[in-house]
Amino acid sequence: MKRQRILLLGIVICIALSCIGCIRFSGGKKTEIPIKKLAYDTKKKGEHIVYIKENSGYEPYFVLTKNYYGKTLLMRYYLLDQPRAFNIYEQNGACNAYYPNSLMDCFLSNDFFHTLSPKMQELILEMDIDITTEESIDAGPILETEKLRRKIFLLSSYEVDGPESTLTANEGIKLKYFADAPDGKIRIACYKNGETMNYWLRTAYTWYDYEVTSVADDRGIVGEAQVHAELAVRPIFCIEGDTPVYKKKISDMKTGYVIE
């Protein structure tokens, strides 16, 4: 009887040790999924946030769509801390609302880009985005777009489901995330402290050649602002949809998907 008890105890100990080993093994294993599975247009409900390393630490990004010209589009969840001018204002006729090489374009492509981790910089794709032509901004009767190759850029008025107008070109593709909320409140964005702020879009407002579209902080209405106004910035960029993400502890209170 005593021998049976010892044998039974030995079996129990072996099973317990095996379970502990399995738990440790599974705990150390990363369960990866492709980032496109987090996209809003993959499933409306569930997690759509991925955390990306910037100089300040991990920052949340919303996975807007898995099919922005075949790539997965990410939008910074919080506005950047510092408001900025879209461009300098020189004079009427200078077409300062033209996006290429504006102050905003240069900031995103250089200063902001280099706040991202080296691996993230490698993962971000060059995209041919639609922008309003300089001729269209220059008070002409035409309203046309052209392609501009960039890694980091801004949303357009059309992409956030802004009102269609003879003064704004249809740049890019209409995004389901914004189109699903026609009252516009989904466009409202804030800083980390919860304070809302107007933020820039990339679409020129061609009534004047020095006005650009923006999102208002109170009701999410798409309006316009002069290029030298200082508004908030909300960067977007694309990566491949099969880029792996996995769950990681971000802080003492938070766990989320990360790209590393």
Amino acid letter, 177: Y
- pTM for the complete prediction? 0.87
Q: How confident is the model at residue 21 (pLDDT cuts 50, 70, 90)?
A: very low
Count of all residues that appear for the chain in the document: 260
Backbone angles phi and psi of 19, in degrees to 5: -65, -45
Distance separating alpha carbons of residues 75 and 225, to the nearest angstrom: 22
From 22-26, 162-166, 216-220, the region with the lowest mean pLDDT: 22-26
Distance separating alpha carbons of residues 184 and 48, to the nearest angstrom: 19
Q: What is the pLDDT of residue 29?
A: 59
Distance separating alpha carbons of residues 130 and 154, to the nearest angstrom: 11
CB count within 10 Å of CB 69 equals 14
CA-based R_g, the chain, Å: 24
Given a cut of 80, whether residue 190 has pLDDT beyond it is yes
Q: How confident is the model at residue 38 (pLDDT cuts 50, 70, 90)?
A: very high
Convert the pLDDT of each residue in 91-127 to its tens digit.
888 999 999 999 999 999 999 999 999 999 999 999 9
